[in-house]
Amino acid sequence: MLKVIKFGGTSLASAEQFRKVAAIVREDKSRRYVVASAPGKRFSSDTKVTDLLLSCYRLHRVRENFDEPFSCIRSRFEEICAELEIPFAFGEDFDRFYQEIKNGATEEYIASRGEHFNAKILAEFLQFPFLDTAEGIVFDENGVLMEEKTNENLALLLKNHTRAVLPGFYGATEKGEVRTFSRGGSDITGSLVARAAKADLYENWTDVSGLLMADPRIVSSPKAIECVTYRELRELSYMGANVLHEDAIFPVRREGIPINIRNTNDTAATGTMIVENAEKSAGIVTGIAGKKGFGAIYIEKGMMNRELGFGRRVLEVLENRKISFEHLPSGIDTMTVVLNRGDLVGHENELIRELQMAVQPDRIHLVENLCLIAVVGRGMINSPGTAARLFGALAKEKINIRMIDQGSSEMNIIVALEEQDYEKALKAIYAEFVPEEEN
- Looking at the fold, whether 36 and 161 belong to one and the same domain comes out as yes
Task: Give the pTM.
Answer: 0.84
Give the CATH number for residue 143. 3.40.1160.10
CA distances to 60, 146, 227, 253 from 233, rounded to whole Å, are 40, 24, 10, 12
Examine residue 157 and state whether it is found in any structural domain, yes or no: yes
**Rounded to an integer, what distance in angstroms lies between the CA atom of residue 89 and that of residue 180?**
25
DSSP conformational letter for 335 = E
- Looking at the fold, whether 176 and 39 belong to one and the same domain comes out as yes
- Looking at the fold, whether 302 and 171 belong to one and the same domain comes out as no
- Looking at the fold, whether 195 and 82 belong to one and the same domain comes out as yes
pLDDT band with cut points at 50, 70 and 90 for residue 438: low
3-state secondary structure of 378: helix
Domain that holds residue 373: 287-438
- Looking at the fold, whether 162 and 302 belong to one and the same domain comes out as no
Which distant-in-sequence residues (6+ apart) come within 8 Å of 255 by Cβ?
A: 194, 195, 198
Examine residue 364 and state whether it is found in any structural domain, yes or no: yes
Give the CATH number for residue 402. 3.30.2130.10
- Looking at the fold, whether 62 and 154 belong to one and the same domain comes out as yes
- Structurally, the chain folds into a number of domains equal to 2
Where is 111: in which H helix or E strand? helix 107-126
pLDDT of residue 282: 63
- Looking at the fold, whether 306 and 422 belong to one and the same domain comes out as yes
Task: List, for residues 344-394, the tens digit of each pLDDT value.
Answer: 888 899 999 999 999 999 999 999 999 999 999 988 877 888 889 999 999
- Looking at the fold, whether 38 and 132 belong to one and the same domain comes out as yes
- Looking at the fold, whether 172 and 314 belong to one and the same domain comes out as no
**Rounded to an integer, what distance in angstroms lies between the CA atom of residue 53 and that of residue 134?**
18
Task: List, for residues 63-90, the tens digit of each pLDDT value.
Answer: 999 999 999 999 999 999 999 999 988 8
Examine residue 393 and state whether it is found in any structural domain, yes or no: yes
**For the chain, how far is it from start to end, CA to CA, in angstroms?**
35
Examine residue 88 and state whether it is found in any structural domain, yes or no: yes
- Looking at the fold, whether 192 and 306 belong to one and the same domain comes out as no
Examine residue 263 and state whether it is found in any structural domain, yes or no: no
**Domain finish residue from 160, 188, 207:** 207
**Rounded to an integer, what distance in angstroms lies between the CA atom of residue 191 and that of residue 401?**
38
pLDDT of residue 281: 63
**Domain finish residue from 207, 228, 250:** 207
Task: List, for residues 193-211, the tens digit of each pLDDT value.
Answer: 999 999 999 999 999 888 8
* Residues 168/37, Cβ–Cβ less than 8 Å: yes
CA distances to 176, 337, 343, 349, 354 from 323, rounded to whole Å, are 31, 11, 6, 15, 13
Amino acid letter for position 226: E
Examine residue 275 and state whether it is found in any structural domain, yes or no: no
- Looking at the fold, whether 198 and 295 belong to one and the same domain comes out as no
Examine residue 223 and state whether it is found in any structural domain, yes or no: no
**Domain finish residue from 147, 178, 207:** 207
Examine residue 282 and state whether it is found in any structural domain, yes or no: no
